[in-house]
Amino acid sequence: MNDGVRIGVVSCSDRASRGVYQDQGLPALKDWLSSALRNPIEFVERLIPDDRATIASTLRELVDDAGCHLVLTTGGTGPAPRDVTPDATLDVADREMPGFGEQMRQISLRFVPTAILSRQTAAIRGQALILNLPGQPKAIAETLGGLPGTPGIFAAVPYCIDLVGGPYLETDPEMCVAFRPKSASRLPVGPG
């Protein structure tokens, strides 16, 4: 039996939060995670404006009050003045996990040279991992799942959640093969 997991998904967008256009980030995050994880998932969704204080308070609420062990944001990671998601993430962080952002940029650089403008990062808050993802559904899937020859960031997420004291996440190997040292894996128990 797989542990249940509560996952926060946050779309940071001034225009989508005002209803100017339909948000595509939240459905893309939920679709990918629902396909990749074998655990029962409870999603806690937020569609909020690009405001540093609002983003920080939302991240605190999702981790501290809602009990999310994984929070994924989408949008607001570029160099424009209103792109403040990474700043708000670091405002609430106990520790930064910069390798996630480095890998996301490596994946995106295979498609566009402007990937170097991304400030995506990740952080630990308590027993939760917060990840800043790109805003486009295609880029969300590529950075989470990877490309041929380039692993996506989600391969490292389950073990990271283990290390900070969260639930044991099991992935569907057709979508994402999670990496854990053999000593950290739960081996399947056979009959009798």
pLDDT at 183: 85
Angle (CA) 176 55 165, round 5°: 45
E strand or H helix at 12, and its extent? strand 5-12
pTM (predicted TM-score): 0.94
Q: Going from the first residue of the chain to its last (192 residues), give the mean pLDDT of each consecutive group of 10, the final group possibly shorter.
A: 89 89 93 97 97 98 98 96 97 98 95 94 98 94 92 96 96 92 69 46
Question: Which domains does the chain possess?
Answer: 5-184 (3.40.980.10)
Tell me the Ramachandran region of residue 51: left when phi exceeds 0, alpha when psi lies from -120 to 50, beta otherwise. beta
